[in-house]
Amino acid sequence: MITLNVQEIQEIIPHRYPFLLVDRVLELEPMKKGVGIKNVTMNEAHFMGHFPNEPIMPGVLLIEAMAQVGGIAMLYPAENRGKIAYFTGIDKVKFRKPVVPGDQVIMTAEIVKTRGNMGRIAAVAHVAGELVAEGEFMFAISEKK
């Protein structure tokens, strides 16, 4: 089983602070599935404004974190290293429970379809075993400019 620490993740996807939203990959099957974690802390800048007296992780960042796990699974193979995955669509997103500082989000992204450089990922996010978000993401893999 392939696991990745944050330094190894940064060798695969181009994201950096404050937009790198995967702290560790617990399980990776290239071109099939990835399981990653995001440790949510009060030190993150978005909590200053979302919301100051009741901090909640923005849903758009949960979507991005789940997509990054899928991107790692897509970009891990040698033939895709150095490339970038672009969002081309988002479907069926649902937010089930708020994510707050102190939570550890476990995200699973499965690649359900690929055709050429295009593909679809189905992803879910859990905190303490409870579903907090889910969705499907479409992407295109491209050379970096």
For the chain, domains (ranges, CATH) are 2-143 (3.10.129.10)
pLDDT at 85: 94
From the list 15, 46, 50, 126, the catalytic residue is: 50
Q: Is 50 a catalytic residue?
A: yes
Q: Euclidean distance between the first and final Cα of the chain, in Å?
A: 32
Look at residue 12 in the predicted model and tell me its pLDDT: 97
What does pTM read for this prediction? Answer: 0.96
What is the pLDDT, as a whole number, of residue 84? Answer: 95
Which regions of the chain are under pLDDT 50? Answer: none
Q: What is the pLDDT of residue 52?
A: 83
